[in-house]
Amino acid sequence: MALSCQLGIASEALRHRACHASKATESINVTSSAFALPPTRADKADPAIIGDDDARLAEIDRALVATREDIERRLAEARRVGSDGQDAMDRDIAVYGLVSRQTVLRRFAIDLCLGKIVAADGEVLYIGRTGLVSPEGKRLLIDWRAPAAEPFFAATHQNPMGLVMRRRFRWKLGRVVDFWDEVFDEAALESDVALDDQSAFIRSLGTSRTSQMRDVLGTIQADQDAIIRAGSSDALVVDGGPGTGKTVVALHRAAFLLYADQRISERGGGGVLFVGPNDRYLSYVDDVLPSLGEDSVTIATLRRLTPEGEEAQPEADPRVASLKGSARFEDAIARIVRGYERVPTQEIIVPTSWADIEIEPEDWAEAFEAADDGTAHNDAQGIVWEELLDILTAKVDEMPPHLARRELENHAGLREIFEKVWPMLDPAGLVEALWTSPSLLERAAPWLSATERALLARGKASAWTTADLPLIDAARDLMGDPAATARRRQRDRALVAERERISSVVDYLSDTDEDGEGVSLMLGAADMQERLIDEGALPTLTVDRLAGPFAHVIVDEAQELTDAEWRMLIRRCPSKSFTIVGDRAQARHGFTETWEERLAEVGFTRASVSRLSINYRTPAEVMAEAEPAIRAAIPDANVPSSVRSSGIPVARGPVSSLESVLDAWLADNEDGTACVIGPAVPAERDRVTFMTAAESKGLEFDFVVLLEPASLGDGVEGAVDRYVAMTRATKQLVILEG
């Protein structure tokens, strides 16, 4: 995404977030305390317990006002600076950084503060979504990603990491409505505390869901935090069942790496690509990263990675999807491309104004060698053309070389011959030709049987499917984008013309400058002439941000990826620095290998696996129903253990009762979300979502109604769909049959 576009998006985000921040600030300014504890928490309102926190939160409030004003002033100054070239780029980067900082500080008020930790030596650190310093230079908040903040998330009673106490705040409308203390060394603790019978995380699990993922930064647990802060040099697999916090870990890891890993965060490093399974999922998590103080992560689905993905339909036949998912088709595409780069075996004669020029096979071979092996076919066309012109010009004795080259360069017949020998190729057109030309498919993919070739056959101009996208992407990588190549050539021609124009002007000024000093002397310098080029007048080059390369890729629901889809992602991160999030028991088409074995098949030579086995989301009542459903098909499924109970048993009933079931739940619950999962799609209702089991993967809802579970099918796919559907519920599950 262009920097100007990012600035526009950030500015728009500021307008939307300003309301929240202003309301939160107003609520603090009209009261003497940042705490709004309910009567049931009156015992926690003792000034001996919260007095120091109240004072610190007041300091944070004042510092936020001053910091926002300082950023506004610096932004205004930066935007007034007029410059071009590198100076303009540096200014735009500075403005972008200030806008990003402004977005976070406007998004939150004092609820930037997550809580505090108290060390054994008495040092108290307040942990924030971002760091904050007072105008006097006092450190008020430590960024949650900083090493000093790690004990806030990672300390346990077995390893307190030097802490004697940890306090986590729970915020609502800019006020602290509850907090939880954990004491690691009561004897060493000097301040008063308020102890509860449950930790912050377990208690917060009972809160209602919304259409977007909850902000759970303050409730990250030690096992999750260790994964978040792990190194990024190799592939790391986060394996865990439903409700173990895999997605939460992945999102926080993205924000952490951009903060802490210089290789990833440094300018030009490529940044982080986060890949989710579908658009609904992306909408669900889209608000999380900005709340963590990070808005520069690129978020996409696999289908968004290619232009053709926008209109692509799911592959209806699983047999076809399996065939197209093979990495062998990349070899087939490469074989076709190489067929367009074969040296002609016959001599070719080109008539010119001075004589006929003979192009020998050796001339073509020499020209072809000018392009490096790694250069995409379409991009190499210009390199080979220039080399061929050099070779042919060297053969001319009858006229000056520059005149001979100019004629050859504009020789329509030579150009026509060359473009037949080394044509411009269309990636999507080549993939379409595979499915529409039986003879081409047979030559390019000889391992296919006649039955398999018949399955792959399709009509011209048929809609693309999601299984086609990795193959089009592979073709584009091998060939280059012809449209981008054309734009680049257009710009190069315009740049040459602009340089010639400037050179002619400089020559004219030099001829009229009698003493050869002053302006004409200064303009004679090559670097000065380059500065005179009007970049804005040249054709613009669009950059496909999703093409990469990225410094790190995080992919969720990775257990579903085909070989071709894995290659599609690795092309965007050749270093293979990946965070791979998934659950083998949720693979709809089976996952019999270990993660290490599966990743070795697609090219990862080094990969470590971290497992999450505690289900923080799904009530024990629901898991008791879901576990047998998956173990019937996958006996060794990594089914996590639930740590909470809703007290609501799983209910059953007839499908005909759906409307009354929803009516009753909506009447009894003023907030929260419900989801109906099944083959039928009734009319949309407020706070009720309808989707298939496959679409629900990765999401969570307070109330889930599973329709006709038997209709989801037999075998592994049916068992996985039932398991996924059941485990979306955070409070209550109802199963309707018949």
**pLDDT value for 535:** 65
Cβ atoms of 245 and 280 closer than 8 Å: no
Distance CA 222, CA 158 (A): 11
| Alpha helices by DSSP H, 30-157 | 47-80, 85-107, 150-154
**pLDDT value for 265:** 67
- pLDDT higher than threshold 80 for residue 701: yes
| Structural domain 225-305+547-615, CATH architecture | 3-Layer(aba) Sandwich (3.40)
Distance CA 102, CA 108 (A): 10
What mean pLDDT do residues 290-319 have?
A: 85
Cβ atoms of 248 and 224 closer than 8 Å: yes
**pLDDT value for 162:** 92
Question: 74-78, 82-86, 480-484, 691-695: which range is least confident on average?
Answer: 82-86
**pLDDT value for 117:** 94
Question: 177-186, 406-415, 638-647, 681-690: which range is least confident on average?
Answer: 681-690
- pLDDT higher than threshold 50 for residue 141: yes
Check whether 592 is labelled as a binding-site residue. no
- pLDDT higher than threshold 70 for residue 27: no
What mean pLDDT do residues 628-642 have?
A: 90
Check whether 245 is labelled as a binding-site residue. yes
What mean pLDDT do residues 575-580 have?
A: 94
| Amino acid making up residue 336 | I
Task: Give the number of other CB atoms < 10 A from CB of residue 738.
Answer: 9
**pLDDT value for 595:** 94
Check whether 243 is labelled as a binding-site residue. yes
**Using 50, 70 and 90 to split pLDDT, how confident is the model at 50?**
very high
How far from each other are the two terminal CA atoms of the chain, in whole angstroms? 50
| Selected residue with higher pLDDT from 655 and 202 | 655
- pLDDT higher than threshold 80 for residue 207: no
Question: 110-124, 157-171, 267-281, 390-404: which range is least confident on average?
Answer: 267-281
Structure tokens at 218: 């303050």
Domain boundaries, the chain: 42-191, 225-305+547-615, 318-480, 483-537, 620-736
Cβ atoms of 240 and 612 closer than 8 Å: yes
| Alpha helices by DSSP H, 236-306 | 246-260, 262-265, 279-285, 288-291
**pLDDT value for 512:** 67
Cβ atoms of 148 and 142 closer than 8 Å: yes
Distance CA 568, CA 528 (A): 43
Structure tokens at 661: 């079931």
Structure tokens at 500: 């010639």
Please report which helix (H) or strand (E) contains residue 472, including its range: helix 469-479
Give, in order, the Cα–Cα distances in Å from 50 to each of 106, 130, 198, 217, 499: 26, 22, 19, 22, 70
Question: 20-29, 502-511, 601-610, 619-628: which range is least confident on average?
Answer: 20-29
Q: Render pLDDT for 445-456 as a digit per residue (tens, 0 to 9).
A: 999 999 999 999
What mean pLDDT do residues 553-567 have?
A: 94
The model carries a pTM of: 0.75
**Using 50, 70 and 90 to split pLDDT, how confident is the model at 11?**
very low
- pLDDT higher than threshold 50 for residue 83: yes
| Alpha helices by DSSP H, 580-701 | 595-601, 620-631, 658-668, 693-696
**pLDDT value for 20:** 43
Distance CA 331, CA 603 (A): 15
Any idea what the Cα angle at residue 503 is, between residues 498 and 506, rounded to 5°? 130
Cβ atoms of 642 and 240 closer than 8 Å: no
Give the sign of the dihedral formed by CA 364, CA 369, CA 370, CA 375.
positive
What mean pLDDT do residues 577-591 have?
A: 91
Cβ atoms of 454 and 351 closer than 8 Å: no
**pLDDT value for 363:** 95
**pLDDT value for 226:** 86
**pLDDT value for 19:** 43
CA within 13 Å, CB half, 334: 10
Distance CA 190, CA 194 (A): 13
What mean pLDDT do residues 74-96 have?
A: 68
**Using 50, 70 and 90 to split pLDDT, how confident is the model at 203?**
very low
Question: 67-81, 118-132, 195-209, 242-256: which range is least confident on average?
Answer: 195-209
Q: Render pLDDT for 488-546 as a digit per residue (tens, 0 to 9).
A: 766 766 676 777 677 776 666 666 665 555 555 555 555 655 666 666 666 666 677 88
Give, in order, the Cα–Cα distances in Å from 298 to each of 236, 256, 550, 556, 575: 19, 15, 9, 14, 18
- pLDDT higher than threshold 90 for residue 598: yes
For residue 594, give every residue at least 6 positions away whose Cβ sits within 8 Å of its Cβ, in sequence order, or none: none
Question: 351-365, 494-508, 712-726: which range is least confident on average?
Answer: 494-508
Give, in order, the Cα–Cα distances in Å from 463 to each of 311, 435, 474, 537, 707: 8, 12, 18, 38, 31
**pLDDT value for 173:** 86
Check whether 210 is labelled as a binding-site residue. no
Length of the chain (residues): 738
Check whether 246 is labelled as a binding-site residue. yes
Distance CA 238, CA 252 (A): 13
**Using 50, 70 and 90 to split pLDDT, how confident is the model at 354?**
confident
3-state secondary structure 291-321: HCCCCCCEEEEHHHHCHHHHHCECCCCHHHH
CA within 13 Å, CB half, 542: 9
What mean pLDDT do residues 152-162 have?
A: 85
Question: 175-189, 210-224, 672-686: which range is least confident on average?
Answer: 210-224
**pLDDT value for 26:** 39
b/e sequence 261-296, b meaning 16+ C-beta within 10 Å: beebbeeebbbbbbbbbbebbbebbeebbbbbbbbb
Cβ atoms of 652 and 661 closer than 8 Å: no
Any idea what the Cα angle at residue 327 is, between residues 240 and 543, rounded to 5°? 85
Cβ atoms of 524 and 215 closer than 8 Å: no
What mean pLDDT do residues 123-151 have?
A: 92
Q: Of all residues in the chain, what percent carry a pLDDT higher than 70?
A: 80
CA within 13 Å, CB half, 19: 4
Cβ atoms of 222 and 154 closer than 8 Å: yes
| Selected residue with higher pLDDT from 198 and 330 | 330
- pLDDT higher than threshold 60 for residue 14: no
Structure tokens at 442: 């047979």
Question: Does domain 620-736 bear CATH number 3.30.565.10?
Answer: no
- pLDDT higher than threshold 80 for residue 683: no
Check whether 339 is labelled as a binding-site residue. no
**pLDDT value for 49:** 92
Give, in order, the Cα–Cα distances in Å from 88 to each of 81, 334, 732: 9, 42, 56
| Selected residue with higher pLDDT from 239 and 82 | 239
| Selected residue with higher pLDDT from 491 and 364 | 364
**pLDDT value for 1:** 36
Q: What is the mean pLDDT of the chain?
A: 83
| Selected residue with higher pLDDT from 578 and 283 | 578
What mean pLDDT do residues 51-63 have?
A: 94
Dmax over CA atoms of the chain, in Å, equals 102
Which stretches does DSSP call E strand in 551-699? Answer: 552-555, 578-582, 607-612, 614-615, 641-642, 651-654, 674-677, 688-691
Distance CA 351, CA 359 (A): 11
Cβ atoms of 74 and 105 closer than 8 Å: no
Check whether 241 is labelled as a binding-site residue. yes
Cβ atoms of 607 and 235 closer than 8 Å: yes
What mean pLDDT do residues 417-444 have?
A: 93
b/e sequence 656-678, b meaning 16+ C-beta within 10 Å: eebeebbeebbeebeebbbbbbb
Distance CA 348, CA 109 (A): 75
Look at residues 115, 236, 119 and name the one whose alpha carbon lies nearest to residue 599: 236
Distance CA 413, CA 417 (A): 6
Distance CA 87, CA 83 (A): 6
Structure tokens at 377: 């076919």
Please report which helix (H) or strand (E) contains residue 165, including its range: strand 163-172
Distance CA 558, CA 186 (A): 44
